[in-house]
Structure 1
């Protein structure tokens, strides 16, 4: 059994001891150290590994561990200012078209400080994840024959077949490409379907990862407003015409951040607008398994008659941030282009990860988990809405969605800046997300996004809203 306090004591003793050794002198063997400290071999090995990481010892396989030579110290500061020119200058004095900006994504991935209530993260809390089922699935996957052999670049056949069935009747397994999560699929799709410098239509507001991926690919995001029924189709057709865009990225189900679902009567006009423009529709179906029990409309790809919809279908949100498995569905030449991009970027998704996903979704625990998750998310949403009405009636809940994990809150017109509200909330012990990064251009108002899935419990959601109200009052809101 690993004992962290024992390991720390051994590490401290050995660190002091090694410094008295001449360079190149061999340390006592692991067996001798185990006997000396009455510790496990694993505990001693961890201490030796820590010394090696500090540069104090060199471990030579088959020979032992030796006092290392002193390594040259790096200068305290390094002048990297030349990189500003190298990374941004282009021939002919043209402005750079590629922008690498992950600030909004890093906000999604931040680790909450101790004691803070997380109402910002896009991933469900570990208490909502099927950890035991995942561990069992991973163990079974590792024992499958050929689990450690190289998989086909498109993905293992059984998983492609499962995704095709799960999505609906339209895709065939040969249309499915397995990717390392939804964000990877988005990046691959945008880089493959649009040329640098081109416009790409996005919902407004939209998931910041779409904007970051588009700009990193040298694309120009053009916003198309969303209301409670999804993208406004009359403005979508106009945006296609005025921008010349060949790609529209949307989230028709429980859109991030608004929670809107594309209304049934808007589905055909969306596809018709894309058809008239000769454009692709990228359907990011990231949260289908986070419905709250109500019947859901089929994916937009089910209405696709000519290979116009490229569909992204991820397992990550409903399982774990570490199960980065998604399906990318495309037909015709688009599939070949996406497949090529996937091979260039990643070769393939690790087979053991694919096998783990297959074991999980084929187990009796999977439907049980989805039912439990739906019930828990519905309860949390209702508690969040009630707590906002009690503690922050001046915040407008723009829509109460029938699924997903977040609420989109409009702040009063005379509110302080979003960044001030977010900072004040953090000081009060709760993390929320500012609305500005969700817009491709100037925001229409001031917003916050509140995630009710990231808290450790339903009671934590209610407490987080109370803390948010405290932070709001402290910035002088009336």
Structure 2
């Protein structure tokens, strides 16, 4: 009998025997099969390999061969992924991780919205506010470059790094810039690079929900530091460093998300000094530098930092398009070398055509024209929504009329919860962000974050306010 026919015969015998066994039962050893069926070791190995390829058995080196779980026809029953509980054992699970996963989509579309829904959620510009014509032209010019598809340097294209360095301030050079795939990826990279899993990271409270998600995904423990109308309080920040031993503080000094706060001038140096005294890094998320409403924007903290305390983060996705996944980290000293090393491990480099397109876009007068028009449009939309809310929902408290950014931050009356309002609003054709996602710990009160840049037209914002009022009235206590 040939080896092939012996193998087929043994496979048929074993398949019949396995049918009478239970998943998890152990098959006889190879030595027993050789003796029982009068075949050679090669035949046994081939038979077991074929059965394993079919999913009939599972081999465990050093242990033996076992009957696999029964397969059912596709669609007859729900997939059984219970095995993953064992495979993932040993990976610590943060009780806040599920909440963090939801937070990760707080500035994007987590799921399709029903037709006719007015979008006050998310954190990107509507298509009619994006410089689509300039983006298309920049991408077309970039694609025609003879080296457009060559490998890009790990740190990013030199012209793009030079442009981003100039935007950050006179004290920053191209050698301090690492081009990243947008702001969220940069946050993830930073949290993994700077702090070990289990370490505390200080954050403003409230803060950007995506930062909380990235910190938790890196195994860090977000610790809240309250803010007031002038931003984070330096005295409370110093106390938090002293109590936790943290070596990292994440903040948004300019047009804070979600509150719109700008860190006061007298506090900007103080906050950096507190971090430096604690031997800690300060992550300056400067996502909204190009989202001002027409007033002068304060200098970035990194522009006046010479000791490498500040690690600066910026991005083009907010003022341009969600798909222009170009951002940058600005850092000095060993931390930059660590970030560059992690870049080589993670993804080597950012796609060159996208970087070339960013250079083209930022180098043309069309970019400056876009930013001026965008400032006017955002100021108008902010005013329309704030006025409509004051008219329709006078008992909702607006934290401030922001001078930049994409959101309004409202405190709800004590009788309402943010999640209930968000659900009712959706049922009435408005999507909003529940405020609790923005707090690293318990929220002191119920809030909503309402965006004014994702709606198709300013008139939709007034309509959204009326729908919100109707939704709130359905939740009002009776009697």
Return the TM-score normalized by structure 1.
0.82
Q: Deviations over 1:318-374 (max 9, x none)?
A: 100000101110001000011111221111100000001111111121111101000
- Residue in structure 1 matched with residue 230 of structure 2 by the alignment: 229
| Conserved 8 A contact 1:99-1:218 | no
Cα deviation for residue 88 of structure 1 reads 4.2
- Residue in structure 2 matched with residue 165 of structure 1 by the alignment: 166
Counterparts of 1:308 and 1:134, CA distance in 2: 35
- Residue in structure 1 matched with residue 343 of structure 2 by the alignment: 342
**Counterparts in 2 of 1:346-425, with a 5 A limit?**
346-415=347-416, 417-425=417-425
- Change in Cα spacing, 1:407 to 1:477, as seen in structure 2 (3 Å) is farther
- Residue in structure 1 matched with residue 286 of structure 2 by the alignment: 285
Counterparts of 2:89 and 2:397, CA distance in 1: 41
Counterparts of 1:381 and 1:212, CA distance in 2: 27
- Residue in structure 2 matched with residue 428 of structure 1 by the alignment: 428
| Conserved 8 A contact 1:98-1:219 | no
Cα deviation for residue 107 of structure 1 reads 4.2
Cα deviation for residue 463 of structure 1 reads 1.1
Mark the structure with the bigger radius of gyration. Answer: 2
- Residue in structure 2 matched with residue 459 of structure 1 by the alignment: 459
The answer to whether residue 92 in structure 2 is matched with residue 82 in structure 1 is no
| Count of aligned positions | 403
- Change in Cα spacing, 1:97 to 1:450, as seen in structure 2 (3 Å) is closer
| Conserved 8 A contact 1:153-1:343 | yes
- Residue in structure 2 matched with residue 108 of structure 1 by the alignment: 107
Counterparts of 2:227 and 2:85, CA distance in 1: 37
Question: Which runs of 5 or more structure 1 residues have no equivalent in the other structure?
Answer: 1-71
Counterparts of 1:418 and 1:393, CA distance in 2: 17
Partner SS for 1:306: coil
Partner SS for 1:467: helix
Partner SS for 1:292: coil
Q: Deviations over 1:53-95 (max 9, x none)?
A: xxxxxxxxxxxxxxxxxxx8465322112323432435xxx87
Cα deviation for residue 157 of structure 1 reads 0.4
The answer to whether residue 440 in structure 2 is matched with residue 474 in structure 1 is no
| Conserved 8 A contact 1:116-1:431 | yes
Cα deviation for residue 276 of structure 1 reads 1.4
| Conserved 8 A contact 1:97-1:197 | no
Partner SS for 1:402: coil
- Change in Cα spacing, 1:74 to 1:412, as seen in structure 2 (3 Å) is closer
Q: Deviations over 1:206-251 (max 9, x none)?
A: 0111111111111110000111111111100000000000000000
Partner SS for 2:225: strand
- Change in Cα spacing, 1:476 to 1:280, as seen in structure 2 (3 Å) is same
Counterparts of 1:181 and 1:477, CA distance in 2: 44
Q: Deviations over 1:419-469 (max 9, x none)?
A: 111010001100011000100100010000000001001111111111111
- Residue in structure 1 matched with residue 198 of structure 2 by the alignment: 197
Return the TM-score normalized by structure 2.
0.82
Q: Deviations over 1:288-329 (max 9, x none)?
A: 101011011100101212011000011110100000101110
- Change in Cα spacing, 1:142 to 1:77, as seen in structure 2 (3 Å) is same
- Change in Cα spacing, 1:399 to 1:307, as seen in structure 2 (3 Å) is same
**Counterparts in 2 of 1:137-148, with a 5 A limit?**
137-148=138-149
| Conserved 8 A contact 1:98-1:216 | no
- Residue in structure 2 matched with residue 319 of structure 1 by the alignment: 320
Counterparts of 2:106 and 2:434, CA distance in 1: 10
| Conserved 8 A contact 1:89-1:96 | no
Counterparts of 2:320 and 2:466, CA distance in 1: 28
Counterparts of 2:427 and 2:293, CA distance in 1: 32
Counterparts of 1:85 and 1:230, CA distance in 2: 45
Counterparts of 2:331 and 2:106, CA distance in 1: 31
Cα deviation for residue 96 of structure 1 reads 5.9
The answer to whether residue 243 in structure 2 is matched with residue 242 in structure 1 is yes
- Residue in structure 2 matched with residue 3 of structure 1 by the alignment: none
Partner SS for 1:196: coil
**Counterparts in 2 of 1:41-80, with a 5 A limit?**
73=74, 76-80=77-81
Partner SS for 2:167: helix
**Counterparts in 2 of 1:434-445, with a 5 A limit?**
434-445=434-445
**Counterparts in 2 of 1:181-192, with a 5 A limit?**
181-192=182-193
| Conserved 8 A contact 1:252-1:261 | yes
